[in-house]
């Protein structure tokens, strides 16, 4: 018998499978709202001008292709740290912060998970919000952590279940690890307010919980990198020894370059050196050292004043295009199609995704026994995940009215 005869067929990736189905559809009205990558108003992938210019400069510099150190490009990690925590915090606490380059956000999560799996001195269970990004559970359980959940999304309001969230965090055993989406929560687009973050910081302190931040969308939520860093900076300044995972996939459009950073705050330089040595020991057998190109691009964009300001305005433009599409989608539903439902959550939510509320609901569509989200795909060629999440990046001024009509048809 073959050595692999006992390997069972696994399920396809829930999100990447949607794109495959979309590609096969020949209807000209088809819309792909499954994938979490930014598109311009013509539905095309977008490479930022600041990135193009940085690439040109790097090309002109004729750099070599030597290996980076295990923890990556130092100029990049320094800039990434300043971007997230703020330059002031880094200048006064930088001596205590371990920062390593990572294989984008996912790789940073994996470093964090594995580090905690090896060294966290309390129960090795991480609490993630319900719902959360589909990959979190797999990353953390493959890292050797247990995964538990806390309440987050309120189906009745399509907003935050703040009381449920607080109650579950309060009731978790002391010293629990709590995963927090720093901004633009995926998949719901629902974030705590600054005042609620303040409460959460206090609550985690009270319970001696450990805050683990996933920040994949800094700048993408509001268009303002500082505003989107509120939670991380608040927790850091309140003295939490946070882990932070950063991705430059969305805010710099560097998806396939895999540029990211992992950081961890320690309490003194000796501790920092010890933790850093262990991070290196952990990374070395995983992938030895990280890719150089994306880190060079991001480092240059962040440190060159002209490129940085061009980047900041492009981040703002991307965020604003998404915010405008939210307004148009809501407006078409309410005013053009006279939907009697409340669609306020479309504009209340932020970031790349909108949790439409089109979740499986067999009661209302019992005759066909089909889910609303599935009807959107079957009858209207609109592709989205079954939980009703749509990527606002796939909505354009050309397809927004058609999308509103489709949503109205399956919800009236």
Burial class (CB in 10 A: 0-12, 13-18, 19+), 211: buried
Build a one-symbol-per-residue string for 95-134: x at contacts with ligand PMP by CB under 6 A, - elsewhere. ---------xxx--------------------------x-
Report, in Å, the least distance between residue 132 CB and ligand PMP: 7
| Alpha carbon distance 246, 219 (integer Å) | 12
Sign of the torsion formed by the C-alpha atoms of 382, 386, 388 and 393: negative
Q: What spatial distance separates the first Cα and last Cα of the chain, rounded to whole Å?
A: 56
348 is catalytic: no
133 is catalytic: yes
Report, in Å, the least distance between residue 75 CB and ligand PMP: 20
Of the pair 140, 380, the CB lying nearest ligand PMP is at: 140
Answer yes or no whether residue 219 interacts with ligand PMP by CB under 6 A.
no
Other beta carbons less than 10 A from residue 56's beta carbon: 10
> What CA–CA distances, in Å, run from 257 to 74, 176, 214, 355?
17, 33, 19, 28
224 is catalytic: no
| Alpha carbon distance 119, 140 (integer Å) | 14
Phi, psi of 305 (to 5 degrees): -55, -40
Instruction: From the candidates 168, 191, 214, 228, give the one annotated as an active-site residue.
Output: 214
Report, in Å, the least distance between residue 330 CB and ligand PMP: 23
Please give the structure tokens belonging to residue 381.
Answer: 């060629």
Instruction: From the candidates 250, 272, 328, 372, give the one annotated as an active-site residue.
Output: 250
Which residues, numbered 318-337, are part of the site for ligand PMP (CB under 6 A)? none
Binding residues for ligand PMP, total number by CB under 6 A: 12
Report, in Å, the least distance between residue 261 CB and ligand PMP: 10
Build a one-symbol-per-residue string for 171-190: x at contacts with ligand PMP by CB under 6 A, - elsewhere. ----------x----x----
Answer yes or no whether residue 249 interacts with ligand PMP by CB under 6 A.
yes
* Residue of the chain from 219, 253, 260, 394 that contacts ligand PMP (CB under 6 A): 260
Q: Is 246:261 a contact under the CB 8 Å cutoff?
A: yes
Answer yes or no whether residue 388 interacts with ligand PMP by CB under 6 A.
no
Burial class (CB in 10 A: 0-12, 13-18, 19+), 52: exposed
Nearest to 220 by CA among 212, 229, 233: 229
Which residues, numbered 74-93, are part of the site for ligand PMP (CB under 6 A)? none
Q: Which residues are catalytic?
A: 133, 214, 250
Q: Enumerate binding residues for ligand PMP (CB under 6 A).
A: 36, 104-106, 133, 181, 186, 214, 216, 247, 249, 260
């Amino acid at each position: 018998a073959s050595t692999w005869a006992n390997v069972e067929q696994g399920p396809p990736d829930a999100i990447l499978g949607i794109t495959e189905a979309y590609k096969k559809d020949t209807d000209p009205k088809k819309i792909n709202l499954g994938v979490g990558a930014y598109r311009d108003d013509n539905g095309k992938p977008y490479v930022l001008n600041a990135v193009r210019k940085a690439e040109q400069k790097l090309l002109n510099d004729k750099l070599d292709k030597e290996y980076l150190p295990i923890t990556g490009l130092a100029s990049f990690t320094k800039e990434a740290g300043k971007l997230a925590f703020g330059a002031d915090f880094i200048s006064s606490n930088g001596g205590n912060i371990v920062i390593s380059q990572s294989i984008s956000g996912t790789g940073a999560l994996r470093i964090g998970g594995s580090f905690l799996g090896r060294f966290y001195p309390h129960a090795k269970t991480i609490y993630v919000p319900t719902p959360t990004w589909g990959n979190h559970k797999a990353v953390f359980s493959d890292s050797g952590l247990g995964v538990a959940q806390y309440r987050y999304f309120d189906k009745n309001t399509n907003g935050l279940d703040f009381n449920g969230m607080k109650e579950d965090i309060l009731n978790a055993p002391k010293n629990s690890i709590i995963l927090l989406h720093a901004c633009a929560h995926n998949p719901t687009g629902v974030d705590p307010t600054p005042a609620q973050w303040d409460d959460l910081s206090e609550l985690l302190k009270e319970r001696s919980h450990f805050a683990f931040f996933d920040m994949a969308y800094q700048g993408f939520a509001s268009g303002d990198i500082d505003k989107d860093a509120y939670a991380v900076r608040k927790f850091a300044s309140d003295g939490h020894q946070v882990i932070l995972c950063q991705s430059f996939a969305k805010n710099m459009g560097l998806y396939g370059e895999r540029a990211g950073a992992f950081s961890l705050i320690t309490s003194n330089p000796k501790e920092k050196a010890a933790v850093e040595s262990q991070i290196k020991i952990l990374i070395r057998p995983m992938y030895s050292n990280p890719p150089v190109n994306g880190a060079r691009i991001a480092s240059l964009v962040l440190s060159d004043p002209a490129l940085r300001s061009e980047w900041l305005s492009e981040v703002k433009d991307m965020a604003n295009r998404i915010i405008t599409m939210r307004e148009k989608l809501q407006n078409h539903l309410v005013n053009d199609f006279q939907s009697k439902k409340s669609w306020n959550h479309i504009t209340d939510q932020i970031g790349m995704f909108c949790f439409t509320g089109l979740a499986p609901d067999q009661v209302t569509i019992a005759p066909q026994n089909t889910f609303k989200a599935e009807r959107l795909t079957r009858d209207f060629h609109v592709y989205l995940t079954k939980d009703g999440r749509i990527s606002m990046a796939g909505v354009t001024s050309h397809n927004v009215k058609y999308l509103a009509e489709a949503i109205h048809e399956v919800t009236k």
